[in-house]
Chain A
């Protein structure tokens, strides 16, 4: 079940990265819909991290536990880190207050999240 959730989150983060990239290319800021989708992604990542930690004792462990936990922590920190730089997103979105660069920041953070999720999937048995 956790693997299914992780795959869903990877695809979801990749889709958000592509969606926001189209706004960045057109010079438009993130909308409230982007903020909502990013929030759902963040909630899913937090849920996934908690589930992984909760089942550590009963499930198969990765060969390099330290690196795996590092990825797990990074997966829940990347989006909040980027959101701090996107004022329009924190204000609830809206192309009037944001710029294409804001959408670019969100796209970059979503892509990085997708990569981290894919790495977790690769190293966690």
Chain B
């Protein structure tokens, strides 16, 4: 794993930790208040964890997992972000993806764009010290 990918993996692991801690505490203490919002935060945490794991695997299959997960996450950020702006009452509470991830310094919006750009420019960019193992 090269340095750029290490930085990406740590960024995603911090997001996974933040979103995971938030969703676990919300779901365990007041799930009934906003089940959709808290469920979305849990999904976000799971996606970030998956990307963190996939970034550390230097194979073409895991690169595909990174690409798919990042594309799905970007679509979710855009959908939820737009929904929270167009209809402020759409969710009973804030989610990780509300207002395009503003509560997380817009990292949920910026990171998948950055990762997908890297992959589009050169699929080997993520693991240029390893090469393809499959």
Binding site for B on A (CB under 8 A): 66-67, 69-71, 73-74, 77-78, 81-82, 85-86, 99-102, 104-105, 108-109, 112, 115
Kindly identify, within residues 1 to 46 of chain B, every residue whose CB is under 8 Å from any CB belonging to chain A. Answer: 2-4, 6-7, 9-11, 13-14, 17-18, 21-22, 24-26, 28-30
Binding site for A on B (CB under 8 A): 2-4, 6-7, 9-11, 13-14, 17-18, 21-22, 24-26, 28-30, 105
Closest-by-CB residue of A relative to B25 is A66
- Complex Cα spacing A102 to B3, Å: 7
- Interchain Cβ contacts within 8 Å, total number: 54
- Complex Cα spacing A115 to B3, Å: 23
Closest-by-CB residue of B relative to A98 is B3
Q: Give chain B's interface secondary structure class.
A: helix
For residue B7, which residues in chain A have a CB less than 8 angstroms away from its CB?
101, 104-105, 108
Closest-by-CB residue of B relative to A68 is B25
Q: How far is the CB of B6 from chain A (nearest CB, A)?
A: 5
Q: How far is the CB of A106 from chain B (nearest CB, A)?
A: 9
Find out whether the CB atom of A70 lies under 8 angstroms from the CB atom of B10. no
Find out whether the CB atom of A77 lies under 8 angstroms from the CB atom of B17. yes
**8 A-B interface contacts by CB (under 8 A):** A66-B30, A67-B26, A71-B21, A81-B13, A101-B2, A102-B3, A102-B6, A104-B3
For residue B29, which residues in chain A have a CB less than 8 angstroms away from its CB?
66
- Complex Cα spacing A67 to B22, Å: 6
For residue A104, which residues in chain B have a CB less than 8 angstroms away from its CB?
3, 7
- Complex Cα spacing A66 to B22, Å: 8
Find out whether the CB atom of B3 lies under 8 angstroms from the CB atom of A109. no
For residue B24, which residues in chain A have a CB less than 8 angstroms away from its CB?
70
